[in-house]
Amino acid sequence: MTVALALFSGGLDSILACRVVAAQGIRVKAVKFVTPFFGYDLLAREAEYVAWVKKTYDIDLMLHDVSAPYLAMLADPPHGYGKNFNPCIDCKILLLRAARELMDKCKASFLISGEVLGQRPMSQRQDTLRLIARESGCEDLLVRPLCAKTQEPTPVELAGLVDRERLLAFRGRGRQPQMALAKSFGISEYPMPAGGCVLTEQAQAGRIAWYYGRKWPVNVSDMLLLLFGRHFQLPHGGWLSLGRDQAENERIAALHEGRGYLLGMEERPGPLALLRYSEHPEDLAAAAALVVRYGKKVKEGSPAATVKLSSEAGEQRLTAEPLADEIFQGWYL
């Protein structure tokens, strides 16, 4: 039986691309690539998610973590960034290359992706669809079932591995044809189209771009930390992340991993915070004063408090007054 390996984002187009090819009697295996910017939380509940995809869409899925090559690419994507810090063209090239490397293991004869001509401004124009296929080295291997008939027949179609007549000619930004097709497959539960991953979102992308500008050793833990909470650049170069609620405090504690200082008040409720990339005493003092500033107010306002700083070297305590707002307005990231 012919096997195809599909790139699965979880969006409707990727679901339909799998189903259109599977409807020809081809065995479709799907891979969802994850990075800190998309899908990373699924790694913690992989079996549950894979089972849900099978039950909901009848698609056999696996997850594959490509964080390391992705973070390296993001420093300097050869085709540049989109409106924010999104390297959409190089993102697609990287994921296709990663899929190509998995083909042998999956015994796949070709690759599927769910792109639709003209649906996205940067990565789904006619010229970029060609460029992505060519530069990923997948020109002879890739089929885009939803828009195949808007393209020249691919080597996979010409070889008869897939029946071009049963592929589609979707184009443009409209969603009606996809919704009708989903209905014909009995698929009613699917995510609404989103604008893109967090790298397209102004505030988060801006922080990630700031981080890359620091030339620190880029790592997954820092990326995950940048995606929630409050962030400050301290006067001596330190980076402080501060939780806004209990759930964020727990995530900050879990991401400490012995790197930098974990700060929190012992006397009254307040945020946990993580200081990285500075040992400067003035940054430690500023970090402690910010923790007190964002601590729970008491009747008298926000009195001085003792802040515990935990690091691999041990614990220390600093007594700090809440930092005045006018001092740190320019520190926000």
Separation CA 276–CA 240 (nearest Å): 7
Shortest Cβ distance from residue 88 to ligand SF4 (Å)?
3
Judged by CB under 6 A, does residue 38 bind ligand SF4? yes
3-state secondary structure of 289: helix
- Region of 160 please: left (phi>0), alpha (psi -120 to 50) or beta: left
Determine how β-strand 142-143 pairs with β-strand 239-242.
unpaired
Judged by CB under 6 A, does residue 87 bind ligand SF4? yes
Judged by CB under 6 A, does residue 30 bind ligand SF4? no
3-state secondary structure of 158: helix
Tell which one of 5, 26, 91, 148 touches ligand SF4 (CB under 6 A).
91
199 vs 289, beta carbon nearer ligand SF4: 199
- Which one-letter amino acid corresponds to residue 131? L
67 vs 123, beta carbon nearer ligand SF4: 123
Q: Which residues contact 131 (CB under 8 A, 6 or more apart)?
A: 79, 89
Could you give the C-alpha distances from 202 to 75, 82, 108, 209, 306, in angstroms and in order?
A: 17, 11, 38, 10, 36
Judged by CB under 6 A, does residue 86 bind ligand SF4? yes
Give the contact letters, 193-222, x = binds to ligand SF4 (CB under 6 A), - = no. Answer: ---xx-xx----------------------
Tell which one of 19, 32, 92, 293 touches ligand SF4 (CB under 6 A).
92
Judged by CB under 6 A, does residue 243 bind ligand SF4? no
Shortest Cβ distance from residue 98 to ligand SF4 (Å)?
12
How many angstroms from the chain centroid is the CA of residue 190?
19
Tell which one of 14, 67, 113, 123 touches ligand SF4 (CB under 6 A).
123
Residues that bind ligand SF4 (CB under 6 A): 38, 86-88, 91-92, 123, 196-197, 199-200
